[in-house]
């Protein structure tokens, strides 16, 4: 055998997905991403993502899960957990003892949350105070158009849902920054403090209340506009979840339109393909399928709607109970793709990765055998056996995929919901779409990767 053939036989080779896919498949990838962009525009908060996923699932025949029901193979149910996280379930033809195939992703994204006493006036300008949510570079959130989304519960427990800044005719909001001419002192601050946490104040108005003399007349004017429009007073902010997110829509990026730029792709870029694969697949699967769309991942998965919460475990208990099967027996026989984004290598910052073990855009979803930091700390490190099974499933289905680490050893790292599902005795592995500018207001993904992620989920359903 000559060297070329021997290399072909023995060496592991990664290839750009755009060179592997046929013209027809590339068109399918582009078409799939139109639906994805729509989902991003409709779902800028975890609540909106749940609403949209439920809407699409109901169109395909999914109904609310009723504990105590003995569901027949093919049954399509969902559990809406407090409007903020979601379980979709398709009951398989095999008995539940065989376990379920679980896809877990998250639908919360980094953002600025409005404080409980947020409204104030300073120098005749009105603002809202914020507390950022998740890992952000704070300076990236200044001087861009921002929208306000969320839920307010009035004193009488009635609910107000708001989304301002998305329609072209809506006003938007903004965090201001200094002009360069006066920024000499500011520019000496470390980057983490170029804009400090307490400087992330949202500009919301500047015209004073005109009919009479009083202090805080700009704040009063804003309070009066908000009262007229939403029937809420300043005290109603006490019981509100209001999120400031970028006001722009998902857009194609590049002359070749090969990429998508949008807010919140971590982790809606995995959530959308996951639930789409489930609801698009008509045949009854062999093993029961579960799709988890979790909240609170960006702040540690705590709380009743995060993956550390018990809602998922309880759901599995309830699913098995009518058959007399303990939930833990279903879980122990299950496997899980913990679908969360990977850090794509950025050619402008190549030193952050080991290039041989880095994720490249257009090379398909990334399998991360482990995450964690400083010696894999805090990681779910998938077994060779399970990685082998995943590898075979993806290869047999012709899915383009790659492996990577989250970055150079000892540089950074991170975690996902994988560890919390693995703790339930479920074989779990991290897989996800590579993202450029992760956690920025405008994150970049490649369309081929989004589509191959969808194909990967379909491969596991089949
Ligand atoms: Mn994520
Ligand atoms: Mn994240």
Residues by chain with Cβ below 5 Å of ion ligand 2: 266
The predicted structure's pLDDT at residue 113: 98
Note the Cα 367 to chain centre separation in Å: 17
The predicted structure's pLDDT at residue 374: 84
pLDDT along the chain (462 residues), means of 10: 94 94 97 98 98 98 98 98 98 97 98 98 97 98 98 97 96 98 97 97 95 86 95 97 98 98 98 98 96 97 96 98 97 97 95 92 94 82 92 97 88 85 95 98 98 98 90
The predicted structure's pLDDT at residue 414: 78
Alpha carbon separation from 447 to 108, 190, 441 (Å, rounded): 21, 35, 19
Distance 331 CA to ligand 2 centre (A): 26
394 three-state secondary structure? helix
Distance 266 CA to ligand 1 centre (A): 5
The predicted structure's pLDDT at residue 214: 79
**Strand-pair category, 125-133 with 202-205:** antiparallel
Distance 83 CA to ligand 1 centre (A): 19
Distance 109 CA to ligand 2 centre (A): 7
The predicted structure's pLDDT at residue 258: 98
* Dihedral of alpha carbons 162, 163, 167, 171, sign: positive
* Dihedral of alpha carbons 178, 183, 186, 191, sign: positive
Among 401, 406, 410, residue whose Cα is nearest residue 358:
406
403 three-state secondary structure? strand
Q: Are 218 and 231 in contact (CB under 8 A)?
A: no
Distance 329 CA to ligand 2 centre (A): 31
Distance 221 CA to ligand 1 centre (A): 39
Q: Which ligand places an atom closest to the C-alpha of 299?
A: 2
The predicted structure's pLDDT at residue 213: 76
275 by Cβ neighbours in 10 Å (0-12 / 13-18 / 19+) ranks as buried
Residues by chain with Cβ below 5 Å of ion ligand 1: 266-267, 340
The predicted structure's pLDDT at residue 121: 97
Could you tell me the two tokens for 228?
């007229």
Q: Are 70 and 320 in contact (CB under 8 A)?
A: no
Distance 69 CA to ligand 1 centre (A): 34
The predicted structure's pLDDT at residue 215: 84
Distance 382 CA to ligand 2 centre (A): 20
Q: Which ligand places an atom closest to the C-alpha of 440?
A: 2
Distance 407 CA to ligand 1 centre (A): 15
The predicted structure's pLDDT at residue 382: 87
Quote the pTM value.
Answer: 0.96
Could you tell me the two tokens for 26?
């590339």
Distance 344 CA to ligand 1 centre (A): 13
């Amino acid at each position: 055998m000559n060297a070329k053939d021997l290399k072909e036989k023995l060496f592991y080779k990664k290839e750009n997905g755009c060179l592997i896919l046929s013209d027809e498949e590339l068109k399918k990838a582009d078409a799939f991403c139109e639906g994805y962009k729509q989902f991003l525009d409709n779902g800028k908060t975890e609540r909106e993502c749940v609403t949209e996923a439920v809407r699409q699932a109901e169109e395909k025949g999914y109904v609310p899960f009723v504990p105590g029901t003995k569901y027949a193979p093919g049954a399509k149910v969902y559990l809406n957990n407090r409007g903020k996280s979601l379980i979709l379930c398709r009951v398989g033809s095999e008995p539940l003892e065989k376990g379920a195939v679980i896809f877990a992703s998250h639908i919360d994204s980094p953002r600025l949350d409005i404080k409980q006493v947020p409204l104030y006036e300073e120098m005749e300008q009105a603002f809202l105070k914020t507390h950022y949510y998740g890992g952000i570079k704070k300076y990236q959130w200044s001087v861009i158009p921002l929208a306000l989304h969320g839920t307010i519960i009035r004193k009488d427990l009635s609910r107000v849902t708001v989304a301002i800044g998305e329609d072209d005719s809506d006003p938007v909001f903004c965090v201001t920054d200094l002009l360069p001419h006066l920024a000499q002192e500011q520019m000496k601050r470390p980057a983490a403090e170029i804009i400090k946490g307490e400087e992330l104040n949202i500009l919301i108005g500047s015209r004073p209340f005109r009919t009479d003399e009083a202090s805080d007349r700009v704040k009063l004017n804003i309070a009066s506009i908000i009262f007229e429009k939403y029937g809420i007073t300043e005290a109603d902010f006490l019981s509100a979840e209001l999120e400031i997110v970028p006001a722009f829509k998902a857009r194609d990026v590049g002359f070749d339109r090969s990429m998508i730029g949008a807010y919140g792709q971590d982790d809606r870029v995995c959530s959308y393909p996951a639930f789409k694969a489930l609801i698009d697949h008509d045949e009854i699967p062999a093993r029961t399928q579960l799709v988890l769309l979790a909240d609170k991942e960006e702040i540690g998965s705590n709380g009743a709607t995060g993956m550390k919460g018990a809602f998922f475990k309880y759901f599995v208990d309830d699913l098995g109970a009518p058959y007399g099967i303990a939930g833990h027996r279903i879980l122990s026989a299950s496997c899980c793709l913990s679908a969360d984004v990977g850090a794509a290598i950025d050619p402008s910052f190549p030193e952050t990765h080991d290039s041989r073990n880095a994720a490249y855009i257009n090379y398909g979803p990334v399998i991360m055998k482990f995450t964690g930091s400083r010696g894999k700390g805090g990681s779910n490190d998938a077994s060779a056996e399970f990685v082998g099974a995943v590898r075979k499933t993806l290869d047999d289905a012709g899915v383009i995929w790659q492996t990577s680490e989250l970055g150079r050893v000892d540089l950074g790292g991170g975690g996902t919901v994988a560890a919390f599902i693995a703790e339930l005795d479920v074989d779990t592995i991290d897989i996800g779409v590579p993202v450029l500018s992760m956690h920025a207001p405008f994150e970049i993904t490649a369309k081929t990767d989004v589509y191959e992620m969808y194909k990967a989920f379909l491969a596991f359903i089949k």
